[in-house]
Amino acid sequence: MSDWIDDFFDEIEEEKDMEVTERMRSWLLHLLRKCRYEDNVDEFYTDEILSSDLTMNRYRELSTTFEMNKLDVRYDYAPSQRELAKFIRYICDL
Protein backbone atom coordinates (compact mmCIF):
# COMPACT_ATOMS: atom_id res chain seq x y z
CA MET A 1 0.00 0.00 0.00
CA SER A 2 2.76 2.45 0.84
CA ASP A 3 4.82 1.67 -2.28
CA TRP A 4 3.31 4.56 -4.22
CA ILE A 5 4.45 6.98 -1.50
CA ASP A 6 8.00 5.69 -1.74
CA ASP A 7 7.87 6.00 -5.52
CA PHE A 8 6.61 9.56 -5.24
CA PHE A 9 9.46 10.64 -2.99
CA ASP A 10 11.99 8.77 -5.11
CA GLU A 11 10.82 10.77 -8.14
CA ILE A 12 11.21 14.02 -6.21
CA GLU A 13 14.74 13.07 -5.20
CA GLU A 14 15.56 12.25 -8.82
CA GLU A 15 14.24 15.64 -9.96
CA LYS A 16 16.63 17.41 -7.59
CA ASP A 17 19.53 15.86 -9.48
CA MET A 18 18.17 16.87 -12.89
CA GLU A 19 19.90 19.61 -14.80
CA VAL A 20 18.13 22.58 -16.29
CA THR A 21 18.10 22.20 -20.08
CA GLU A 22 18.47 24.88 -22.72
CA ARG A 23 14.79 24.52 -23.54
CA MET A 24 13.90 25.29 -19.92
CA ARG A 25 16.18 28.32 -20.00
CA SER A 26 14.55 29.61 -23.19
CA TRP A 27 11.12 29.15 -21.60
CA LEU A 28 12.20 31.25 -18.60
CA LEU A 29 13.51 33.96 -20.94
CA HIS A 30 10.19 33.91 -22.80
CA LEU A 31 8.26 34.33 -19.55
CA LEU A 32 10.62 37.10 -18.46
CA ARG A 33 9.89 39.04 -21.66
CA LYS A 34 6.18 38.88 -20.85
CA CYS A 35 6.76 40.41 -17.40
CA ARG A 36 8.42 43.69 -18.41
CA TYR A 37 10.06 44.56 -15.12
CA GLU A 38 11.36 48.06 -14.43
CA ASP A 39 14.74 49.31 -13.15
CA ASN A 40 16.81 46.74 -15.07
CA VAL A 41 15.69 43.88 -12.84
CA ASP A 42 15.22 41.80 -15.97
CA GLU A 43 18.98 42.03 -16.66
CA PHE A 44 19.66 40.46 -13.26
CA TYR A 45 17.17 37.66 -14.00
CA THR A 46 18.63 37.13 -17.47
CA ASP A 47 22.11 36.72 -16.01
CA GLU A 48 20.79 34.28 -13.45
CA ILE A 49 18.92 32.23 -16.06
CA LEU A 50 21.93 32.01 -18.35
CA SER A 51 24.36 31.12 -15.57
CA SER A 52 25.49 27.53 -15.21
CA ASP A 53 24.53 27.50 -11.51
CA LEU A 54 20.77 27.41 -12.13
CA THR A 55 19.22 24.57 -10.14
CA MET A 56 15.90 22.86 -10.66
CA ASN A 57 14.45 24.41 -7.48
CA ARG A 58 15.46 27.89 -8.62
CA TYR A 59 13.98 27.14 -12.06
CA ARG A 60 10.64 26.36 -10.43
CA GLU A 61 10.80 29.51 -8.29
CA LEU A 62 11.58 31.71 -11.30
CA SER A 63 8.89 30.19 -13.50
CA THR A 64 6.28 30.67 -10.76
CA THR A 65 7.42 34.25 -10.15
CA PHE A 66 7.29 35.10 -13.85
CA GLU A 67 3.89 33.46 -14.31
CA MET A 68 2.47 35.46 -11.41
CA ASN A 69 3.95 38.75 -12.65
CA LYS A 70 3.03 38.30 -16.30
CA LEU A 71 1.30 41.28 -17.87
CA ASP A 72 -2.40 41.13 -18.44
CA VAL A 73 -3.75 40.55 -21.96
CA ARG A 74 -4.97 44.15 -22.04
CA TYR A 75 -1.37 45.39 -21.97
CA ASP A 76 0.03 42.91 -24.48
CA TYR A 77 0.51 44.21 -28.02
CA ALA A 78 -0.52 40.99 -29.77
CA PRO A 79 -1.86 38.34 -27.39
CA SER A 80 -2.33 34.80 -28.62
CA GLN A 81 -5.81 33.42 -29.16
CA ARG A 82 -5.38 31.13 -26.17
CA GLU A 83 -4.48 34.04 -23.87
CA LEU A 84 -7.33 36.13 -25.22
CA ALA A 85 -9.87 33.32 -24.75
CA LYS A 86 -8.60 32.71 -21.21
CA PHE A 87 -8.98 36.40 -20.42
CA ILE A 88 -12.53 36.52 -21.84
CA ARG A 89 -13.52 33.50 -19.73
CA TYR A 90 -12.02 35.21 -16.70
CA ILE A 91 -13.90 38.46 -17.33
CA CYS A 92 -17.21 36.70 -18.05
CA ASP A 93 -16.77 34.53 -14.97
CA LEU A 94 -17.14 31.28 -16.92
Residue 42 burial (10 A CB sphere; 0-12, 13-18, 19+): middle
Q: What is the mean pLDDT of residues 11-15?
A: 67
Query: What are the pLDDT digits (tens) for 25-50?
Result: 999 999 998 887 777 788 888 899 99
Beta carbons within 10 angstroms of residue 29's beta carbon: 15
Task: Give the per-residue pLDDT at 15.
Answer: 63
Task: With cut-offs at 50, 70 and 90, classify the pLDDT of residue 2.
Answer: low
Task: Give the per-residue pLDDT at 18.
Answer: 74
Higher pLDDT, 3 or 2: 3
**C-alpha to C-alpha distance for 38 and 4, rounded to whole angstroms:** 45
Query: What are the pLDDT digits (tens) for 55-90?
Result: 888 999 999 999 888 877 777 777 788 888 988 888
Task: Give the per-residue pLDDT at 57.
Answer: 86
DSSP structural state of residue 55:
-
Q: What single letter denotes the amino acid at residue 42? A: D
